Amino acid sequence: MMARPATVYSCSSCGHASPKWHGRCPGCGEWNALVEEARAAPSARVGAGSANGTRGSSARALKPVALADVQAPAVERLTTGIGELDRVLGGGLVPGSLVLIGGSPGIGKSTLTSGALGNLAAAGHRVLYVSGEESAAQVKLRAERLGGRALSVPIVAETDLDAVLATLEAERPDACVIDSVQVLYDSALTGAPGSVGQVRGVAGRIMRVAKQLGIATLLVGHVTKEGSLAGPRVLEHLVDCVLSFEGERERTYRTLRALKNRFGSTNEVGVFEMAEQGLVEVEDASERFVSEATRAPGSVVLCAMEGSRPLLVEVQALVAPSELVPPRRVANGVDRNRLALVLAVLARHGGLGLGSSDVFVSVAGGVRVDEPGADLAIALALASAAKGTELAGDGKPLAAFGELGLTGELRHVGHADRRLAEAAKFGLHAVVRPGEATTTLRQALSCLSGTPRARAA
């Protein structure tokens, strides 16, 4: 009988395990993602067997309970004192929950978590900051910039998982930040820190302690070159909430989104601004973006919805002749595939072909918009930039929202009344949107010539 191999190959993207190495993962199709790690020891079985052929086991059978009879006690959340963070979390941290927050280096993950712990400590909660990448002295330099609350947070600088878990059991904090989960090391597992087996095992042990002691735990994670959270996909399945901190280091604005949330909505977004004293909440982001909007050709204000929150952002477009084949298509803040769709609909149903021009589309301020309601604003900005015609209504920038169909029709999007109310709040009464007078893309493009019909809301 052939001996069972002592190692297994696990995918660093999806966690798929294979007994032999493959160039391409059989689970997710990722190339060169299989990493060798030690095979887990099989669990011991008690009993040689039974009359019906099933294996014996020492585990006792459980009695199912009807969902109607399950008692669900109300859990009081821990408010971090940062309104934008609490909004994305669904009202605050849930005791015993595991939250994974990821973002590119220098985006402000440590600054955000340090500020949250400082506010919790000031509110009388027991907190703990576990730093694996920086020394206590380095963390103190950042805390001095944030203020006195952050300086009151107790910290341990350690990468050994056993020591960290022992500290959690001894201190029993209400909330804890582990920065970062990729540098913790479990001596009982093989592989270097950050490997598939280590990250999966470390997160699993942290989860068991956090659930047992009721500790709300924030795990800081790295981001790959492609912008996705590093580590196996099973890590995202393991935690209760996955937050993505987005933005550009050169820009002042940062956005916080929930990619997964077992205790709240995944449609909310938080907006922050990086200032000298750290991250500052931007409670009324629409006012900032509208005040900076221009009336130049290629500029349109998009009435977007981020969860339950209306948001006005400026969409800018630039169309320039190109000698490259194929011409460049650059999208910043919008999906590149969505931009290709809008260009195709413009060429086929709008009479505006840009196949020989370089096209650049950007959402001002470093904000990313993923909803289909941005299609019409992108199309109007491209048409305005291509023809050099200013889109303005009543002396102010033109606003727009709506989805483009492949046959050139305008489709309605959700919460139109809230989008219009947000635009009217800042004096933007000229709004191009799907309606009885504007049902196709050609009708919407008539605002380039200044017709009253397209300018009316």
CA 129 – CA 117 distance, rounded (Å): 8
Q: Which residues contact residue 6 at a Cβ distance below 8 angstroms, ignoring those fewer than 6 apart?
A: 38, 39
Q: For residue 158, what are the β-bridge partners?
A: none
For residue 163, the SS3 value is helix
* The pLDDT value given to residue 144: 87
Every domain of the chain and the residues it spans:
7-38, 83-282, 286-455
* The pLDDT value given to residue 456: 35
Over 70: is that where the pLDDT of 393 sits? Answer: no
* The pLDDT value given to residue 455: 37
Tell me which residue of 375, 451, 382 sits closest to 408, measured CA to CA. Answer: 375
Q: Which residue has the higher pLDDT, 73 or 297?
A: 297
CA 278 – CA 233 distance, rounded (Å): 31
Q: pLDDT per residue over 352-379, tens digit each?
A: 989 899 999 999 877 888 889 999 999 9
Residue in this structure with the two tokens 């470390």, named with its chain if needed: 202
Top mean pLDDT of 27-41, 116-130, 255-269, 435-449 is at 116-130
Over 60: is that where the pLDDT of 48 sits? Answer: no
* The pLDDT value given to residue 453: 36
Averaged over 135-153, what is the pLDDT? 87
Averaged over 27-47, what is the pLDDT? 70
* The pLDDT value given to residue 57: 60
Over 80: is that where the pLDDT of 395 sits? Answer: no
Averaged over 400-410, what is the pLDDT? 95
CATH number of 286-455: 3.30.230.10
CATH classification (class only), 83-282 = alpha beta
CA 156 – CA 174 distance, rounded (Å): 16
Over 50: is that where the pLDDT of 457 sits? Answer: no
Residue in this structure with the two tokens 């270097």, named with its chain if needed: 192
CA 276 – CA 68 distance, rounded (Å): 52
For residue 47, the SS3 value is coil
Joined together, the tokens standing for residue 389 give 């015609």
CA 226 – CA 42 distance, rounded (Å): 36
Q: DSSP letter at 93?
A: B
CA 347 – CA 353 distance, rounded (Å): 4
pLDDT interval class at 145 (50, 70, 90): confident
Q: What percent of the chain has pLDDT over 70?
A: 88
* The pLDDT value given to residue 389: 86
CA atoms within 13 A on the CB side of 427: 10
Q: Which residues contact residue 338 at a Cβ distance below 8 angstroms, ignoring those fewer than 6 apart?
A: 331, 372, 374, 375, 378
* The pLDDT value given to residue 27: 82
pLDDT interval class at 267 (50, 70, 90): confident
Over 70: is that where the pLDDT of 42 sits? Answer: no
Over 50: is that where the pLDDT of 454 sits? Answer: no
φ and ψ at residue 98, rounded to 5 degrees: -120, 120
Tell me which residue of 443, 413, 339 sits closest to 382, measured CA to CA. Answer: 339
Q: What angle do CA 79, 84, 87 make, to 5 degrees?
A: 65
Inter-residue contact 217 to 223 (CB < 8 Å): no
Over 80: is that where the pLDDT of 86 sits? Answer: yes
* pTM recorded for the entire structure: 0.76
Q: pLDDT per residue over 150-172, tens digit each?
A: 899 999 999 999 999 999 999 99
Q: Which residues contact residue 457 at a Cβ distance below 8 angstroms, ignoring those fewer than 6 apart?
A: 420, 429, 430, 431, 433, 435
* The pLDDT value given to residue 234: 66
Top mean pLDDT of 42-51, 72-81, 269-278, 369-378 is at 369-378
Over 70: is that where the pLDDT of 43 sits? Answer: no
* The pLDDT value given to residue 222: 75
Averaged over 381-401, what is the pLDDT? 85
* The pLDDT value given to residue 360: 96
Please report, as a single letter, which amino acid is at residue 352: L
* The pLDDT value given to residue 229: 57
* The pLDDT value given to residue 88: 92
Q: Answer yes or no: same fold for 83-282 and 286-455.
A: no
* The pLDDT value given to residue 451: 39
CA 311 – CA 289 distance, rounded (Å): 9
pLDDT interval class at 3 (50, 70, 90): low
Q: Which residue has the higher pLDDT, 412 or 396?
A: 412
Q: pLDDT per residue over 203-239, tens digit each?
A: 999 999 999 999 999 999 876 555 555 555 667 888 9
CA 271 – CA 196 distance, rounded (Å): 32
Q: pLDDT per residue over 300-339, tens digit each?
A: 999 999 877 899 999 999 999 988 888 999 999 899 999 9
Top mean pLDDT of 116-130, 262-276, 365-379 is at 116-130
